[in-house]
Every structure is written in C-alpha cells, then in structure tokens.
Amino acid sequence: MKILSVNVAQPRAVEYQGKTVQSSIWKEPVQGRVALSETNLAGDRQATALLHGGIHKAVYAFSHDQYAWWETELQRNDLKPGMFGENLTVSGLDESNIGIGDQWQVAAVRFVVTGPRIPCSNLAMKFNDRSAPRRFAESGRPGVYLRVLHTGSVAGGDTITEVSKGDGVTIRELYQAYTRPRDVGSREILQQALRNEYLDPDLATGIGKRILDTQQTKEETLS
C-alpha cells in the first residue's frame, strides 16, 4: 500500500436541511511531511471527536482504488483526495485483506487498525445527496480507522508496510456483519471482533447493542 495524499481540515459551519452544523469532512490535501500525534494529524481537528476522533479513531484511511467506482456511482468526475473525509488516501487498501489489530509501519509511525468507518449524515451533507450514506454502506468498502502506536510524520508517497496481523476478522466481514446483523453468521463475526483488544470501544458498544437486539428479535420470533 502507498499513501497518495495526506488530507486535513478544521471544523466549519455548514447549512444543511435548515440547520447549521459543524463538520470537518471537507478535507484538503497538504504537501510535505505532516506531524502525527496520538490523536490527530497536525492541522486536522474533528468537529465531533466523540463520533469521529479520539485515540481509537485518530486517522481515517480510504482507498483511492474506489474513486473510479464512486465517480460512476455518483455520475461525477470531480472527486479528489480527501473527498470522503479521509486523512490518508491510500492505493492498494483492500478491506477484504485487512483485519482489526493489523499493524502498519509508515516511516517511524506505527498504526493499528481499530475498525471500519460507519457512514453518517456527514456524507449526505458533503455530497448534497441524502442517499450517500446508504450507498456508502452498500458498497462494503468503508475504509479503516487507525490508532497511532508510535508517533512521527507521514507524507504522500510513503509506503505502508504491514508488520503484523490481527485476529482474522477482516474489516469487510465486520462491516457487513455490523450493517446486516441478522444475516446468517453475522453474530459469530461480531462476537469474535469483540474479543480483539484493539477494537474501537465506541464500535464495541454498537456491536454489543446489535447482538442484544438480534437476540431479542430471535426470542420474540420463537415465543
């Protein structure tokens, strides 16, 4: 894998559906090496750190390989790095081969994968399309959140080297199980993910709720 672009943003006020909201999804590419702390890249700040930030979601990486598909899907030809709110636009990123707990080395920086990005209304606002979150979910290619184990700096052109693997549950498997918890096999995947020490705690809470909801639905069906 290779970093093609490093993208940052500060929160901005945006009018959407009659309300003023704060969002940092309008990421812009920056040149040169960018310092990275345990919580964010220099020049980047999440508007809602509880949902999109913190040490377990310090950096968001998305695959540039998906851009061509999205240009067709959205009938647009103006997509540029950072369009999906990602900090790192990466070539060769494949959620089918990446698992929770995988560790990556980029120069002096060590990352660990903590989970997939779960789509929210920010995508609808960014693309001015209420169907964007649904389309994003259906694509099954959510990108990955990263925790920073060793700080340093990153830049476009840096190579990402996988240095260790996680527990075997891939990002794609987990994402599909999370968004379709009633499908056959989803419960087992979600339970396996919960046993991983590197799983984002906020995502773990959501997984626990889904497991409980599906169990209650099953019991109601059998009663």
**CATH number of the domain residue 62 falls in:** 2.40.33.20
- Calpha distance 83→123 (Å, rounded): 10
pTM, two decimal places: 0.93
Residue 154 three-state SS: strand
In a domain, 98, yes or no: yes
In a domain, 160, yes or no: yes
Q: Considering the domain boundaries, does residue 212 fall inside one? A: no
Instruction: Give the range among 91-100, 141-150, 211-220 with minimum mean pLDDT.
Output: 211-220
Q: How many domains does the chain have?
A: 1
| Residue 184 resides in a domain | no
**Domain-located, residue 51:** yes
In angstroms, the CA 165 to CA 45 distance is 29
pLDDT category at 220 given cuts 50, 70, 90 is: low
On whether residue 219 sits in a domain, the answer given is no
Q: What are the residues facing 106 on neighbouring strands?
A: 109
Residue 185 lies in a domain: no
Residue 177 inside a domain? The answer is no
Q: What is the pLDDT of residues 190-207, one digit of tens each?
A: 999 999 999 999 999 999
> CB under 8 Å to 15, separation ≥6 — which residues?
none
**Domain assignment of residue 55, given as a range:** 2-166
